[in-house]
Amino acid sequence: MDITWLGYSCFRIKGKEVTVITDPYPPGLGYSLGRPQANIVTVSHFHPGHSYTQAVSGEYKVIKGPGEYEIKETFITGIATWHDADQGQKLGKNTIYLFEMDSITLCHLGDLGHQLSSELIEDVGDIDVLFLPVGGISTIGGSTAAEIVRRLTPKVAIPMHYKTATLKKDLEPVDKFLKEMGIKEKVSQPKLSVSRSNLPASTQVIVLEYTR
């Protein structure tokens, strides 16, 4: 499985049989999504920066909220959460997605805006790869994100939705999250190739480079 960061909260997860695109965004953010191909597109919430499905090409199924889905032997579970710490009163709803593909469990937290309750931690369960927002302002910030990583104990944690030189929106950079995780120097890589056999024994933070 190859995982590529396309900017913001958008990833290409390319498995043996299926390609998933998460939270596609429109022009104007600074990033350029292009026209990535997919079989499945997930939308965590309906803010424009996370639901621009027309940017994706191919014959794909769009998943837009909580529920259980099976597409081409890929199992996806959407879990209802909030975009803010006030049960959606400020920014509305958010959906966490769990993916089971190629014997790996992935979790995309979308624009989560609050700490996970014990019930949600149990619902999410054991995670191999976790994608989580760390940029604060409109989502959880670095310290809350680090606490969620410690509670979920994924094998791999990939930060997203933070300030970069390319992004035009005002968010916090990834540095605070890395500091909270005890990482002193940021090292990034263009993509992550992961399989059941090469998952790390304990949590490893991977910073991916924006790829057009």
Q: Which domain holds residue 92?
A: 2-208
The answer to whether the CB of 42 falls within 8 A of the CB of 52 is no
The pLDDT value given to residue 190 = 96
**CATH code of residue 139:** 3.60.15.10
User: What is the pLDDT averaged over residues 47-56?
Assistant: 94
pLDDT per position as a tens digit, 149-189: 999 999 999 999 999 999 999 999 999 999 999 998 888 99
Amino acid 175: pLDDT: 95
Which pLDDT does position 20 carry in this prediction? 98
Residue 16 pLDDT > 90, yes or no?
Answer: yes
Domain count, the chain: 1
pLDDT at 84 over 90: no
Beta bridge partners of 3: 13, 192
Work out the percent of the chain whose per-residue pLDDT is above 90: 90
Mean residue pLDDT across the chain = 95
